[in-house]
Structure 1
Amino acid sequence: MKVRELSEALRKKAEEEINENDRNIETNLEVMRKCFNEHFEDHTILDQWFLAFLRGCKHDVEKSKRKLEKYYTLKKSAPDFFANRNPTDEKIQALLKLGLFLPLRQCVKEDSPRTCLVRVSQLCNSQYSLVDLTKIGFMTAEILLLEDDNFTVVGEEIVADMKNVGFSILSQWTPSLVRRMFTCAQNALTVRLKSLHIINAPRGLKAAVSIFKMFLTAKLKRRIYIYNEDYEGMYEYVPKSILPVEYGGTAGNIQDLTDYWKAKIESHGDWYAEFDKACDEFKIPKKTTTNNSAHTIS
């Protein structure tokens, strides 16, 4: 079994929240290997990738298999999000330089979720859209699923900066777009959203949040927090010690974080190329059901 060992704090969290223990990891990984590796000619799925899907489904193997099947159909079902993801592409390079989706380096505690800064504000006065932001977000999320145990075991929390966001961007936030985002994030990538903090809230945000809530459980609806330009309330949940200085924090600056994630995504160019090949090779087994699973929060 070639997977990372968890820290003691994360191991305990995994046992309590996602039904993971030393007894079931290898058994469930073996089931996933037998189900999927036979479907590829030149592509072998990493155990760590299998484990990310198992964790997102609380080690429900059948549910994990269905979600991984959906993942390998994303290039065809959501090409605007998942096709043409070469990090050296001119458009991808421009998007990475904007620093749109930036996971923070530190977590609040050893067993806390990963906090991700989503800078919707960077789309203002640019030629890019919410679809482009979503594409970069999913490219980054895949790296987190591979490399970040806090992300796979505990989940993520979002800090969304909406500074100067106006109608031209808010009008893109349609039920259709949000539905497709949630379908990909929850039904194919096992991203577990824990909370959402919206800062620099613009006028007209109420309608956008109402659309977002259509796809949330009652539990997660209570975990949406909205702030204007005063972040003091947010610091109770997302402390200054993990935030960049531009947001009142002490953990480096936005440019360094942007440069880090640009280089990180560039270093995974082979991963995105392999995804393309695997999607072309993959055939969904005839006997496997493909029912959509509901959004869950733990």
Structure 2
Amino acid sequence: MRYFSDILVVFEFGLRAVARYMIHKMANLRPLAKSLQEKCEKELNEQPERIVSDIKAIRDWLQKQPHLQSVKPSDQWLLSFLRGNKFSLERTKEKLDMSYTLRTLVPEIFKNRDPLDPKLNEVLRKGLFLPLKKCAKEDGCRPMFVRFNFRDGPLIPVEQLMKVAFMIVEIMIRDDDNFLICGEEVIVDLKNMGMAALSLWTPALAKKIVMSFEKALPVRMKNIHILNPPPGLETVLNLIKAFMSQKLKDRIFVYGQNLDSFHERFPQELLPEEYGGNNGTVQDLSDYWTGILEGNRDWFLAEEKAYSDESRRPEKPKTTTSLFGVDGSFRKLDFD
């Protein structure tokens, strides 16, 4: 009897694997590695047999929204939002709606995103936002290395920096299963960030950026590690934290000159070579991501046409004031 029981288990597992393959094939979805599929089912409430119907439910809902008629996302994009919201249809709808609403209400970050635009391309080539190629394990989260290097040349407006950051994040949402399913771990080096750069932050901008990450994108933030904090950072960090959820606040770690505690939390070998790791050089990573965004120019230009038309929203239209409680006219920060 045990022999036949084992055969049935293998047969059932084989059928499930075939079913998953057929579902992904039918919906034009990217298949997952076994470990990532298991994580999806265990942590994100994914039921492979329901994927097609869940995507259809979201697409049907989108088609009924008068203010979102320009939105025609791919099945893979909708699956990304479903996974990022643990397959809650209502939370997926809310986050999708907010995502396209911010394209309308925060144009300084979410509009005019041509990677060949000279100003954007300059930021891109500086290698300030660098997702690293290797994860700690097959089903590990994606490390993102951020370096605000303002030692050379004039300061870059925060809006320009964040525009490039969100462009990279959207490519990862679309293409990077580790980023989407396992989460993101961010390492921020502020060694070359002085008082002048810190003073560019305003409460209005901080709130827009935090809301974009937490309310509009299917991002699973695991930890944020801040290295080499400059004088004045605490003022900016407290400003940004004021708009964060408690869960995200608890995942921020700031380190002084001694990085031993950082390396206890994050393996040094996963860092770029310049930081004692073996996860590529900063220049190679910068060239790689410049090529990725430039290669997706047509996609970004097409996405410009997908946004919320607030004049057609069935309920009260959303505005900058209703969402952020600000009109964008906050002064820059004052430092003691």
Answer whether TM exceeds 0.5 for this pair: yes
> Residue 229 of structure 2 aligns to a residue in which SS?
coil
* Aligned residue number for residue 34 of structure 1: 60
* Aligned residue number for residue 8 of structure 1: 34
> How has the CA–CA distance of structure 1 residues 280 and 67 changed in structure 2, closer, same or farther, with 3 Å as cutoff?
closer
Return the match for 1:47 from 61, 68, 75: 75
* Aligned residue number for residue 205 of structure 1: 233
Which consecutive unaligned segments of at least 5 residues does structure 1 have? Answer: 293-298
Residue identity over aligned pairs, in percent, reads 37
- Is 1:256 matched with 2:280? no
Q: Work out the CA distance in 2 between the residues paired with 1:13 and 1:273.
A: 33
* Aligned residue number for residue 17 of structure 1: 43
> How has the CA–CA distance of structure 1 residues 288 and 36 changed in structure 2, closer, same or farther, with 3 Å as cutoff?
farther
- TM-score normalised by structure 2 residue count: 0.79
Give the deviation of 1:11 after TM superposition.
1.9
1:139-154 to structure 2, matched below 5 A, reads: 139-154=167-182
> Residue 19 of structure 1 aligns to a residue in which SS?
coil
- Aligned partner of 1:217: which letter? S
* Aligned residue number for residue 98 of structure 1: 126
- Aligned partner of 2:45: which letter? N
* Aligned residue number for residue 79 of structure 1: 107
> Residue 73 of structure 1 aligns to a residue in which SS?
helix
Give the deviation of 1:248 after TM superposition.
1.4
Q: CA-to-partner distance for each residue in 1:150-198, whole Å, 9 max, x for gaps? A: 1111221111110131211112233322210011122222222211100
Quick check: 2:72–2:306 contact (8 Å CA) kept in 1? no
- Is 1:158 matched with 2:196? no
- Is 1:236 matched with 2:264? yes
- TM-score normalised by structure 1 residue count: 0.89
* Aligned residue number for residue 67 of structure 1: 95
Give the deviation of 1:261 after TM superposition.
0.2
Quick check: 1:69–1:284 contact (8 Å CA) kept in 2? no
* Aligned residue number for residue 138 of structure 1: 166
Q: Single out whichever of 125-134 and 99-108 deviates more from structure 2.
A: 125-134
Give the deviation of 1:281 after TM superposition.
7.3
Q: Work out the CA distance in 2 between the residues paired with 1:62 and 1:285.
A: 17
Give the deviation of 1:200 after TM superposition.
1.1
Q: Work out the CA distance in 1 between the residues paired with 2:252 and 2:104.
A: 32
Quick check: 2:62–2:69 contact (8 Å CA) kept in 1? no
Q: CA-to-partner distance for each residue in 1:55-93, whole Å, 9 max, x for gaps? A: 121111122112212222223200110111111111111
- Aligned partner of 1:252: which letter? G
- Aligned partner of 1:139: which letter? M
Q: Work out the CA distance in 1 between the residues paired with 2:83 and 2:169.
A: 14
> Residue 277 of structure 1 aligns to a residue in which SS?
coil
- Aligned partner of 2:221: which letter? L
* Aligned residue number for residue 295 of structure 1: none
Quick check: 1:213–1:221 contact (8 Å CA) kept in 2? yes
Q: CA-to-partner distance for each residue in 1:244-297, whole Å, 9 max, x for gaps? A: 1111111220000000000000011111111112227798662799898xxxxx
Report which of the two structures shows the higher radius of gyration computed on alpha carbons. Answer: 2
> Residue 236 of structure 1 aligns to a residue in which SS?
helix
* Aligned residue number for residue 327 of structure 2: none
Quick check: 2:71–2:307 contact (8 Å CA) kept in 1? no
